[in-house]
Amino acid sequence: MVNVEELFTNLAKSLLGDDIVDVLEVLLRKGTEMTDEEIANTLNIKVNDVRKKLNLLEEQGFVSYRKTRDKDSGWYIYYWKPNIEQINEILLSRKRLILDKLRIRLEYERNNTFFICPQDNARYSFEEAFENEFKCPKCGSQLSYYDSDKIKTFLEQKIRQIEEEIEKETKLGANKSS
Ligand SMILES: [Zn+2]
C-alpha cells in the first residue's frame, strides 16, 4: 500500500528541497487549516521563514489558502491547508488507468487461445499459429498448446486488489472532504 502523505511529502521534497518539509508536515499532522503564525509557533521558527516556505509550496500546488480581513487590525489573515486530495486524485486516476489495461489484457487472454514454442518460449495466438501450420515462425519447432490459466488467475487477483484499493481510497477522500 502506498502511503499518500509520505508520497505527497516526498514529491514536495524532490521539487522544493528538504527545507520546506517541516511546514508541510505540520499541516498534514494538524489536518485542519492553520495560520502562518500558528505554524511558526508550532515549529518555533520565524513567521517570515514560514511564509517563504508556504509561498514556495503554494506555487507548486502543494498548499492553498483562503484569506479574511481581521476586523480590528485591518490586516489579512491567511488560513493554509495541504492539497492532499489532489495527489489522491492523481494516484487514483493512475490506478484506474492500470485497471483498464489489466481488464483489456484479461479479456484478451479469455477470448484467445495461445500456442507456445518449446524452444524459445515465444507465444503465438491461434491465428498466428494456424497461419504457420503450428510451427514456430522463428525456429520451425512444433508449437504446443499454451495454458494461460496462471496468467488469467494472476490478472484476476491483480484486478481485484486494485479495485479494492480504489474503492478504499475513494471512500477515504469522500470522508475527508465532507
Ligand atoms: Zn521457436
- What is the whole-number distance in angstroms between the Cα of residue 126 and the centre of ligand 1? 15
Question: CA-CA distance, 27 to 53, in Å (whole number)?
Answer: 12
User: How many helices (H) and strands (E) are present in the chain, helices listed first?
Assistant: 7, 6
Three-state secondary structure call for residue 155 = helix
pLDDT in tens, the chain (178 residues): 457 788 889 888 988 899 999 999 999 999 889 999 999 999 999 999 999 999 999 988 889 999 999 899 999 999 999 988 777 776 787 789 899 999 999 999 999 999 999 999 999 999 999 999 999 999 999 999 999 999 999 999 999 999 999 998 887 666 655 4
- What is the whole-number distance in angstroms between the Cα of residue 127 and the centre of ligand 1? 16
Give the residue extent of every domain in the chain: 4-82, 86-177
Question: CA-CA distance, 19 to 146, in Å (whole number)?
Answer: 55
How confident is the model over 137-146, as pLDDT tens digits? 999 999 999 9
**Distance from the first to the final alpha carbon of the chain:** 24
Which pLDDT score, from 0 to 100, does residue 178 have? 43
- What is the whole-number distance in angstroms between the Cα of residue 167 and the centre of ligand 1? 43
- CA distances (Å), 142 to each of 114, 115, 116, 127, 131, in order? 13, 10, 9, 15, 13
Task: Quote the DSSP letter at residue 137.
Answer: T
Task: Quote the DSSP letter at residue 122.
Answer: -
- What is the whole-number distance in angstroms between the Cα of residue 160 and the centre of ligand 1? 34
- What is the whole-number distance in angstroms between the Cα of residue 148 and the centre of ligand 1? 18
Looking at the structure, give the CATH architecture of the domain made up of residues 4-82.
Orthogonal Bundle (1.10)
Give the contacts of 51 (CB within 8 A, at least 6 positions apart).
36
Which pLDDT score, from 0 to 100, does residue 32 have? 86
Question: CA-CA distance, 88 to 150, in Å (whole number)?
Answer: 32
- What is the whole-number distance in angstroms between the Cα of residue 90 and the centre of ligand 1? 42
- What is the whole-number distance in angstroms between the Cα of residue 155 and the centre of ligand 1? 26
How confident is the model over 112-151, as pLDDT tens digits? 999 999 999 999 999 999 999 999 999 999 999 999 999 9
Opening angle at CA 85, ends 81 and 91, nearest 5: 145
Which pLDDT score, from 0 to 100, does residue 1 have? 47
